[in-house]
């Protein structure tokens, strides 16, 4: 018998023993199956289950059933707004699954309220309190992994501002909301608003807290006091272009208000400017004048039904409420572009139910200082917050971060 033949016999014997052992295992456990032959539907995985004859089953895949650890959520507060009775807090969550996070606020030890961020991690909460001084503690919790953020402490102290606003001699019912030194050289097109040539004048929109009678708005009823002491009577005073039924509160003044070296310090109502109800605003004034280098802010936010006179047809289908935003001056996108998605997504509306939403649409159909925020939600709008750098004035200067409480129009 040669060597090759001997090796052949050994191989046959070993192969036969392996086959016998394999068949022997099947004989011992006839339920044993080849796992590779068992497949599961999409979205399911194969798991062990000794209670079944096969020893395995398909089950729905849950990513949290597999141990994995995320860092604890990081909570940040971007804005705290206090109107004396209601505090609105807005912020963000940094976490891979922000929709699984709960944000919890405790007011001293009087109770806890909570909310859940949206998919972008944005959250908001409101607290009602008339106390002069108290503390808010805010934390973010990921209950699935039992992790918690550091606590953010917010002190609300209203005692510092009490008594600061002394008597001004002005009407307590009305005020000048803003005076905006928006342009140092009006374009020729501005002459259409005044009916005569005002190209090259400074432009200063002045926003009042009330609507005005159109015929009472004349240049002689206003004075602009400059830093050199000179009192300037405007060349033009007009409610154009903000002259629609729900507007009529922004007076555009034009003239030499101190562009070259001198600055405007004060705006006064020096004549019988009347409200729509016939009340005189004589004596109203403001020294809070936004300078040329600053961008526009929102100074008024009013809530209306979408079918209100002056709004019908302005907002898209699905609009439930409209918030009219009054800016210090006319606003557009960068380089005079129309308002778009950047401006819509950068406008946040805090609702009464505690949620924060973006408008369904922003509508601005004329070159004035009013923008309509169309909302699809039923819960009444409470606050509007606008992110920085999105809305540009006619000089292409962008807005700072700005906010306003929403009032019923």
What the chain holds in terms of domains, given with CATH numbers, is 74-157 (2.60.40.10), 170-294 (2.60.40.1220), 296-409 (2.60.40.1220)
Query: What pLDDT digit, counting tens, does each position of 210-231 carry?
Result: 999 999 999 999 999 999 889 9
User: In the prediction, which pLDDT does 184 show?
Assistant: 85
Mean per-residue pLDDT over the chain, rounded: 84
Residue 347: which of 386, 374, 383 has the closest Cα?
386
The token duo for 17 is 């023993």
- The residue-averaged pLDDT of 140-148 equals 91
Judge whether residue 169 has pLDDT over 60: no
User: In the prediction, which pLDDT does 167 show?
Assistant: 41
> Rounded to whole angstroms, how far apart are CA atoms 64 and 75?
22
Distances (CA, A) of 123 to 16, 269, 343, 357: 70, 43, 19, 10
User: In the prediction, which pLDDT does 50 show?
Assistant: 60
- The residue-averaged pLDDT of 32-46 equals 61
Interior CA angle at 175 toward 169 and 178, to 5°? 125
pTM of the model: 0.71
Percent of the chain topping pLDDT 90: 56
Judge whether residue 55 has pLDDT over 50: yes
Q: Considering only 33-47, 87-101, 170-184, which range has the smallest mean pLDDT? A: 33-47
Compute how many other C-beta atoms are within 10 angstroms of the C-beta atom of residue 49: 13
The token duo for 150 is 């550091």
């Amino acid at each position: 018998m040669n060597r090759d033949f001997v090796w052949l016999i050994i191989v046959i014997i070993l192969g036969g023993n392996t086959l016998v052992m394999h068949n022997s295992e099947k004989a011992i456990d006839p339920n044993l199956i080849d796992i590779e032959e068992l497949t599961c539907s999409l979205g399911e995985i194969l798991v062990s289950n000794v209670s079944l004859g096969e020893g395995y089953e398909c089950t729905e895949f849950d990513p949290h059933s597999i141990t994995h650890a995320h860092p604890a959520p990081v909570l940040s507060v971007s804005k705290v707004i206090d109107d004396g009775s209601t505090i609105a807090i807005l912020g963000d969550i940094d976490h891979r699954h922000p929709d699984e996070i709960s944000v919890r606020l405790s007011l001293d030890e009087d109770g806890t309220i909570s909310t859940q961020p949206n998919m972008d991690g944005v959250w908001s909460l409101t607290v009602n309190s008339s106390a002069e001084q108290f503390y808010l503690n805010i934390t973010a919790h990921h209950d699935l992994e039992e992790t918690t953020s550091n606590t953010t402490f917010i002190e609300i102290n209203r005692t510092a501002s009490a008594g600061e606003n002394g008597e001004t001699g002005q009407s307590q019912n009305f005020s000048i909301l803003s005076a905006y030194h928006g342009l140092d050289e009006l374009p020729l097109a501005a002459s259409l608003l005044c009916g005569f040539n005002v190209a090259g004048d400074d432009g200063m929109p002045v926003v009042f807290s009330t609507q005005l009678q159109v015929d009472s708005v004349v240049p002689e009823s206003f004075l602009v006091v400059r830093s050199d002491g000179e009192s300037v009577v405007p060349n033009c005073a007009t409610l154009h272009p903000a002259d629609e039924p729900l507007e009529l509160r922004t007076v555009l003044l034009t003239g030499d208000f101190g562009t070259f070296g001198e600055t405007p310090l004060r705006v006064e109502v020096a004549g019988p400017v009347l409200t729509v109800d016939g009340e005189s605003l004589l004596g109203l004034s403001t020294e809070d004048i936004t300078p040329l280098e600053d961008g526009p802010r929102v100074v008024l936010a009013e809530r209306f039904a979408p079918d209100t006179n002056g709004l019908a047809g302005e907002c898209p289908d699905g609009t439930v409420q409209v918030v009219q935003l009054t800016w210090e001056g006319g606003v557009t996108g960068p380089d005079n572009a129309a308002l778009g998605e950047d401006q819509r997504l950068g406008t946040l509306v805090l609702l009464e139910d505690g949620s924060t939403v973006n408008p369904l649409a922003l509508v601005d159909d004329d070159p004035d200082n009013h923008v309509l925020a169309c909302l699809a939600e039923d819960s009444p709008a409470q606050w509007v917050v606008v992110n920085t750098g999105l809305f540009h004035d006619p000089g292409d200067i962008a807005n700072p971060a700005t906010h306003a409480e929403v009032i019923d129009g």
